[in-house]
Structure 1
Amino acid sequence: MNFETLKVTQSEPPNSGIFFLYLNNPSRRNALTPKFFTEFPKALSLLDQNPSAKLIILASNGDHFCSGIDILSLKSLQNQQTQDQGRAREALRRAIKEMQSAITAIELCRKPVIASIHGACIGGGVDLITACDLRLCSKQAFFSVKEVDLGLTADLGSLQRLPYLIGYGNTMDLALTCRRIDGLEAKKLGLVQTVFESRDDLEKGVMELASSIAEKSPMALMGTKAVMLKGRELGVEHGLDYVATWNSAMLLSKDLEEAVEASVQKRKPVFAKL
């Protein structure tokens, strides 16, 4: 996998099933460029289709996780000229929808995605991590929903996903004030699950968590992610009906049989690849 804005590596040992997907534009503090929005969903799709991939860690090279959408990209969208204003607005809407789809690709990926966050996580970076399944950060990390300060309404997912993580009032606070919060406040709000003292501790902690999850049934992990995401749209009654339908198909997998046998035999289960 060769990309301009990303780097994909496999964790050791190779049979761990853990892959790292790095934002790899450190000279721009991993700002999200037009090329990123093309490459990111492709990289996720390739990892999703790779039977050896059990889990993905979304991290970044350099001193910061992500400084948001590249400002020059915003200007290029704004400066598109045409005599037909209707067509210009349609093209802008389509461009925004394509960028939204790139972020949503995290949720469409069947494999769990863990965000490992250090340094700045601003604007589009918050969009990215809110689409992930779990979020861990270092104590030095900081977060900001920055779009209002740029004269924009956040449009890539933060305003839709953050309320499920930190509540409506807290989301409104962060979105309207654009204030910066550190890792400890992010943990208090529920944006991240764990805060580590340093970046080294973060990397070790993320690997420990990823390794423990990667050992579990791929079918069960996929189902849990799918049912949890669908549950945002459904009430309890319809959510229960959805998971009943899901398991009526998926329980025929040999993963359940292997999990039970491994428990009885007091050994680690060995599951088939997804």
Structure 2
Amino acid sequence: MSKACAGTSLITAADIRYTVSDAIFSVKEIDIGLAADIGVLQRIQKLVGNDILTRESIYTARNFSGTQAKDYGLVSRTFQSRKECIEAAFNLAEGNAAKSPVAVQSTKRALNYAKDHTIDDSLEWMANWNQSMLQTEDIIKNAMAMQSKQKPTFNDV
């Protein structure tokens, strides 16, 4: 996100968030007499993990910078320029796009499941999930590509 950011609610739905250090974040709905209603209130506490800081930011509707967003844990990386930020995001996306879509989606589901379940429940869920994942061709394709020192080509999910 760059400069004045009205999309704080939207970014809380993203798996990975980058920003520029001078971006401006806020949740302003309270200033117009509303409670934010498109997910930011439900997601941000789980992302930031600091209840009192979250409540202060939302109750006061104050702005906070990209640097502060990183300190709070809302974004994983900050950059000095928009160009650097976009370049890093595209590099990350290209790297992820080269991976098995089955593995990426499975990992996302496992992380989401583990967030609200015990370690034992999550391990059991993962073992069951991976049994079905063994039915895909991606593991074989990846092993063959590694052996031949080539990049694997995966089918879309």
| 1:221 equivalent among 99, 104, 118 | 104
Structure 2: tracts of 5 or more residues without a match: none
Deviations 1:185-224 (A, max 9, x none): 1111111111111111122111111111111000011111
Give, as a single letter, the amino acid of the residue that structure 1 aligns with 2:38: L
4+ runs of 1 displaced by more than 4 Å?
Answer: none
2:5 is paired with a residue whose SS is strand
| 2:54 equivalent among 171, 175, 180 | 171
Alpha-carbon distance in 1 for matches of 2:54, 2:119: 24
Per the alignment, residue 56 of structure 1 pairs with none
| 1:141 equivalent among 14, 20, 23 | 23
Alpha-carbon distance in 2 for matches of 1:257, 1:164: 36
Structure with a larger share of its residues in helix: 2
Identity across matched positions, percent: 38
Does the CA contact (< 8 Å) of 1:159 and 1:171 recur in 2? no
Alpha-carbon distance in 1 for matches of 2:10, 2:147: 41
Higher relative contact order (CA 8 A, sep 6+): 2
Structure 1: tracts of 5 or more residues without a match: 1-116
1:121 is paired with a residue whose SS is coil
How far is the alpha carbon of 1:129 from its aligned partner?
A: 0.6
TM-score, normalized by length of structure 2? Answer: 0.90
Per the alignment, residue 16 of structure 1 pairs with none
Structure 1 segment 42-121 matched on structure 2, within 5 A: 117-121=1-5
Give, as a single letter, the amino acid of the residue that structure 2 aligns with 1:145: V
Give, as a single letter, the amino acid of the residue that structure 2 aligns with 1:261: M
Give, as a single letter, the amino acid of the residue that structure 2 aligns with 1:174: S
Alpha-carbon distance in 1 for matches of 2:130, 2:43: 26
Is 1:180 the counterpart of 2:63? The answer is yes
Is 1:191 the counterpart of 2:58? The answer is no
1:224 is paired with a residue whose SS is helix
Please, what is the CA RMSD of the aligned residues?
A: 1.5
1:259 is paired with a residue whose SS is helix
Per the alignment, residue 43 of structure 2 pairs with 161
Structure with a larger share of its residues in strand: 1
Per the alignment, residue 247 of structure 1 pairs with 130
TM-score, normalized by length of structure 1? Answer: 0.54
Alpha-carbon distance in 1 for matches of 2:8, 2:112: 18
